[in-house]
Structure 1
Amino acid sequence: MRTFSNFVNGRPVDARSTFESKNPANGETLGLVPHSTREQADAAVAAAREAQPAWAARSDADRQAVLIKVADKLRDNAELLATWITREQGKPLGGVGPEQVPGARFEAWACEAWTRVPASLELPPEVVFEDETRRDEVHRKPLGVIAAIAPWNWPLMIAIWQIVPSLRAGNAVVIKPSEYTSIGTLEMVRLMNEVLPPGVLNTVTGAGEVGAWLVDNPGVNKVMFTGSGATGAKITAAASKHLTPTTLELGGNDPAIVLPGAPIKAMAMNLFWSAFLNQGQTCACIKRLYVHESQHDALVAELAQLALAMPMGDGMQPDIAMGPVQNRMQFDKVSRLVDRARSDGATIVCGGEPMPGPGLFYPLTLVTDITDGAPLVDEEQFGPALPIIRYRDIDDAIARANRGDAGLGASVWTSDVKQAKAIAQRLEAGSVWINHHGAVHPMVPFGGAKRSGWGVEFGIEGLKALTRPHVISVKK
């Protein structure tokens, strides 16, 4: 059984104890992952602090060139990384159907793409005021050391979202991957360290306490976290001790509203994948689908036909569309929410019962005759179960969509884009998509409203969030 290593100051680091990383499709142990100690977490931060000034002192062009080499390294090893994503996270290796719906190979490619785009961005000084008496410029300086805590659903891609803009801005990074999906991240960081200067990118692995040690370290200058609201609240409280700023992406429970008259046959496939991409384990997936009563039954029939046709199984096998739920905790949550809906009188259109065998397979499940207030509607299920809710009045649908504390994404589906834009203005979410959902882009800011977090990632705004403004004012 192979034991994988962390990387600190450019060198592999082992730990006194390890834990198993398992394949959710069959329960197979994939390898042993070090459980970092607090001393090792502190050492990783210290290594980052030591390496960061020299990295920041390099020219923008130099840092950009290094990151382009990192992108090349990720491209050249994309199949290795994609294989680890499938084995450890569960999503199918390849794309599905003529649309090539994203799988693990897409995630590996996205790691390359989300490296090249930030590497291409510029943050030149901005002249914010000038008259005959003075000239004021805003320059951008790195923050220092970024502690990044990544999730298990898109383990490598979201890690790259945290790592690469931080490095581009001149920071150094310590990243803790999810304990459920550590090996792929360790392999990716190993490859990146073949290009990066020692100490600029470091890893620690383990359960939640390891991330807490990073947050509690006064040598950390910012925390980036993607995960649950409960953990985000703990991070916020701990970071306040040292006045450490944070960027938090805390999930969604995203609503989608299908307006009357929408071309549902043409939109059904897009709606389906907007809900069930990555087995529904995506922060910005549709989690609640509001459909006008005039088209509710027809759309349910279209979605059920798609759900029943999607082959589910080990993502390393060919022609698999749906993989397992990634971990037992999430599997049990989905089961509990669906069982509760059934006991409360909802209709299970398809799915609704765990599949037998060692893997964590839960069938695609559509639930109707359910409304707001039901746990399956009000809680973010983060899995392959979609509540579909009738509505009669559009104002009522908007009010329902805005219920609750979540506000990551939302979408409106219609042939009337003008009407959709007006509705989008009323939806309380960081991003509102029209006739698609969850379509993030490396140049478009992405972040949540309400209790879905704060701060933004991607593009110029995301890059600025990893710097501090430095004003130089000249009297003429």
Structure 2
Amino acid sequence: MAISFVDNFVLTIDGKKVASSETKDVINPATEEPFAVAPIATPQHLEDAVNAASRALPSWSATPVEKRQEMLSNLGDLVARHLQQFAELLSKEVGKPKAAAGKEVGGLVAWLKAAVSHSLPDETIVDTPQRKVVVRYVPLGVCAAITPWNFPLTLMAWKLVPALVTGNCLIVKPSPFAPLGTLKFGELAQQVLPPGVLSVLSGNDELGPWISKHPGIAKISLTGSVGTGKKAMASAASTLKRVTLELGGNDAAVVLDDVDPKAIAPKLFRGSFMNTGQVCVAMKRIYIHENVYEAVRDALVEYAKTVKVGDPLDPSNEVGPVQNQMQFEKVKIFFDDCDQNGYKFALGGKLVEHRKGYFLPITIIDNPPELSKIVQEEPFGPIVPLLRWNEEDDVVKRANDTNLGLAASVWSNDLDRAQNIARRLEAGTVWINEVQTTHWDQPFGGFKQSGVGVEHSKHGLYSWVNIQSLTLNRALL
């Protein structure tokens, strides 16, 4: 059954399309103009979604895991048939270039199809003539996913697949800045999933706290800022909800002195500026050995000049706008701070006044002070500092000198040396000679204030279940 991707955006509750009397304009960040209207969920809508999930839970949790896996895989096939419509919607609401938007939708399909490899079967740990002990993995119940605006479909999939495959029912709340793709996914999913198993509620800033405090919700999985994560965790404490939090990062990249500057430049560029730098695991600080500093800097600048910034619907543009006005204004503060402090701009820095859209130039700061704002904080936009180093102990100390620890990377042709540095970095994921690669079998989570718990792999699945020890004494009474 076909659905429209151009209008009629609705909530999904209990398998049904539900309208709301209150709505919100969704802004195209490339034009600063509204192009669609999203519904705003009320407390009653949330109550209805929780009640529907509670009714669906007994049957869904009792459904054989193979059947749940099959449904999710079939949902992946259904999304694939609408890939271009989802991608165009993402381009308009997130500002993603067409190729990047298509890649995100393709990732959603791949994650759904991978559900067939996700399960937590019972484990027999004792089996003697006298006694048997089985470890069971029991669904938590009604859960919620709170997702951000930078990768609305990818990061929804990271939560939805493990939640549903382990037998939970899920309520998804997308960001108010980019709710449309998720709303359409929720509508489409009802062609595959039983009513109540998945609800999608878009809303304003009040909806998240309502979810965090709701006594009928057993767990929240949230991707967002550190500040948002702290608020959600505090609210969840009132009912002792489980939480998985994937929060911000100030990811360091360490470049050794044996790299080929021209070969590494495209990799550093994409690691820093993909999705306009709006990636939790984007390179936020690039430490380059002093022996190759100028050569790598110049090669990176030269490569960056070949990349076009502009309307994401134009396939020749590889970098789009910042996603929303609030983030646009936050990132501009970093530009202004660098300018006011006299830091050297190797590239960019000058804003185009009176241009429509939340566009900022690709900007590279040349060796600012270690204690500068651009080094110490996460801009989440198209600006990155390059910094010199010459001693391994020093660069490891500088890379670790942050209260965040989401990801990091090391770049070298000496793999032993690179691994020695990587093992000393305080981050949940450390890549060597690659960046931003994830997989459903690879645990993903942050150290320090970058998160609580992990997603993906069996370790991520464990966060969606209660662990029950079932013991049997075979002696007759």
TM-score of the aligned structures, taking structure 1 as reference length: 0.96
Distance (Å, rounded) in 2 between the aligned partners of 1:270 and 1:455: 29
Name the structure 2 match of 1:353. 350
Are residue 313 (structure 1) and residue 310 (structure 2) matched? yes
Q: Determine helix, strand or coil for the equivalent of 2:38.
A: strand
Q: Determine helix, strand or coil for the equivalent of 2:70.
A: helix
Tell whether the 8 Å contact from 1:143 to 1:467 is kept in structure 2 after alignment: yes
Name the structure 2 match of 1:126. 123
Name the structure 2 match of 1:261. 258
Name the structure 2 match of 1:98. none
Tell whether the 8 Å contact from 2:57 to 2:169 is kept in structure 1 after alignment: yes
Which residue of the other structure, out of 328, 331, 355, is the alignment partner of 1:334? 331
Tell me which amino acid in the other structure corresponds to 1:403.
Answer: D
Q: Determine helix, strand or coil for the equivalent of 2:137.
A: strand
For residues 171-202 of structure 1, give each alpha carbon's deviation from its aligned partner in whole angstroms, at most 9, with x where no partner exists: 11111100000111101111111111111110
Segment drifting more, 146-155 vs 355-364: 355-364
Which residue of the other structure, out of 421, 424, 427, is the alignment partner of 1:426? 424
For residues 385-410 of structure 1, give each alpha carbon's deviation from its aligned partner in whole angstroms, at most 9, with x where no partner exists: 00111112111110010011110000
Query: Mind listing any 5+ residue stretches in structure 2 that lack a counterpart?
Result: 1-5
Name the structure 2 match of 1:100. none
Q: Determine helix, strand or coil for the equivalent of 1:174.
A: strand
Name the structure 1 match of 2:112. 115
Which residue of the other structure, out of 69, 74, 78, is the alignment partner of 1:73? 78
Name the structure 2 match of 1:443. 441
TM-score of the aligned structures, taking structure 2 as reference length: 0.96
Name the structure 1 match of 2:364. 366
Which residue of the other structure, out of 407, 410, 413, is the alignment partner of 1:409? 407
Name the structure 2 match of 1:222. 219
Name the structure 1 match of 2:288. 291
Tell me which amino acid in the other structure corresponds to 1:58.
Answer: T
The within-5 A match list for 1:77-476 is 77-94=82-99, 103-129=100-126, 133-356=130-353, 357-476=355-474
Q: Determine helix, strand or coil for the equivalent of 1:309.
A: coil
Question: How much does 1:159 deviate?
Answer: 0.9
Name the structure 1 match of 2:43. 38
Question: How much does 1:369 deviate?
Answer: 2.8
Tell whether the 8 Å contact from 1:42 to 1:214 is kept in structure 2 after alignment: no
Q: Determine helix, strand or coil for the equivalent of 2:335.
A: helix
Tell whether the 8 Å contact from 2:15 to 2:196 is kept in structure 1 after alignment: yes
Which residue of the other structure, out of 2, 5, 15, is the alignment partner of 1:10? 15
Q: Determine helix, strand or coil for the equivalent of 2:371.
A: coil
Tell me which amino acid in the other structure corresponds to 1:4.
Answer: F
Tell me which amino acid in the other structure corresponds to 2:96.
Answer: K
For residues 283-326 of structure 1, give each alpha carbon's deviation from its aligned partner in whole angstroms, at most 9, with x where no partner exists: 01111101111111111101111111101111111211111110
For residues 401-453 of structure 1, give each alpha carbon's deviation from its aligned partner in whole angstroms, at most 9, with x where no partner exists: 00111100001100111111111111100000001112111211101110001
Q: Determine helix, strand or coil for the equivalent of 1:163.
A: helix
Question: How much does 1:134 deviate?
Answer: 3.3
Distance (Å, rounded) in 1 between the aligned partners of 2:366 and 2:93: 33
Identity %: 38
Segment drifting more, 26-35 vs 213-222: 26-35
Segment drifting more, 334-343 vs 376-385: 334-343
Distance (Å, rounded) in 1 between the aligned partners of 2:387 and 2:457: 35
For residues 238-289 of structure 1, give each alpha carbon's deviation from its aligned partner in whole angstroms, at most 9, with x where no partner exists: 0000000100000211101011222222222111101111111000111110
Distance (Å, rounded) in 2 between the aligned partners of 1:215 and 1:408: 23
Distance (Å, rounded) in 2 between the aligned partners of 1:39 and 1:354: 45
Question: How much does 1:47 deviate?
Answer: 1.2
Segment drifting more, 417-426 vs 84-93: 417-426
Tell whether the 8 Å contact from 2:392 to 2:421 is kept in structure 1 after alignment: no
Name the structure 2 match of 1:24. 29
Tell me which amino acid in the other structure corresponds to 2:412.
Answer: T
Distance (Å, rounded) in 2 between the aligned partners of 1:424 and 1:180: 36
Tell me which amino acid in the other structure corresponds to 2:455.
Answer: E
Tell me which amino acid in the other structure corresponds to 1:472.
Answer: L
Question: How much does 1:3 deviate?
Answer: 4.4
Distance (Å, rounded) in 1 between the aligned partners of 2:124 and 2:421: 37
Counting matched residue pairs gives: 468
Question: How much does 1:466 deviate?
Answer: 0.9
Tell me which amino acid in the other structure corresponds to 2:371.
Answer: G
Tell whether the 8 Å contact from 2:66 to 2:116 is kept in structure 1 after alignment: no
Distance (Å, rounded) in 2 between the aligned partners of 1:443 and 1:75: 22
Distance (Å, rounded) in 1 between the aligned partners of 2:404 and 2:55: 39
Tell me which amino acid in the other structure corresponds to 2:147.
Answer: A
Distance (Å, rounded) in 1 between the aligned partners of 2:174 and 2:103: 19
Question: How much does 1:349 deviate?
Answer: 1.2
Question: How much does 1:353 deviate?
Answer: 2.4
Tell whether the 8 Å contact from 2:321 to 2:358 is kept in structure 1 after alignment: yes
Question: How much does 1:136 deviate?
Answer: 2.2
Tell whether the 8 Å contact from 1:3 to 1:34 is kept in structure 2 after alignment: no
Tell me which amino acid in the other structure corresponds to 1:74.
Answer: V
What is the Cα-based RMSD across aligned positions, in Å? 1.4
Tell whether the 8 Å contact from 2:119 to 2:165 is kept in structure 1 after alignment: no
Tell whether the 8 Å contact from 1:118 to 1:459 is kept in structure 2 after alignment: no
For residues 318-348 of structure 1, give each alpha carbon's deviation from its aligned partner in whole angstroms, at most 9, with x where no partner exists: 2111111101111111111121022112111
Name the structure 2 match of 1:63. 68
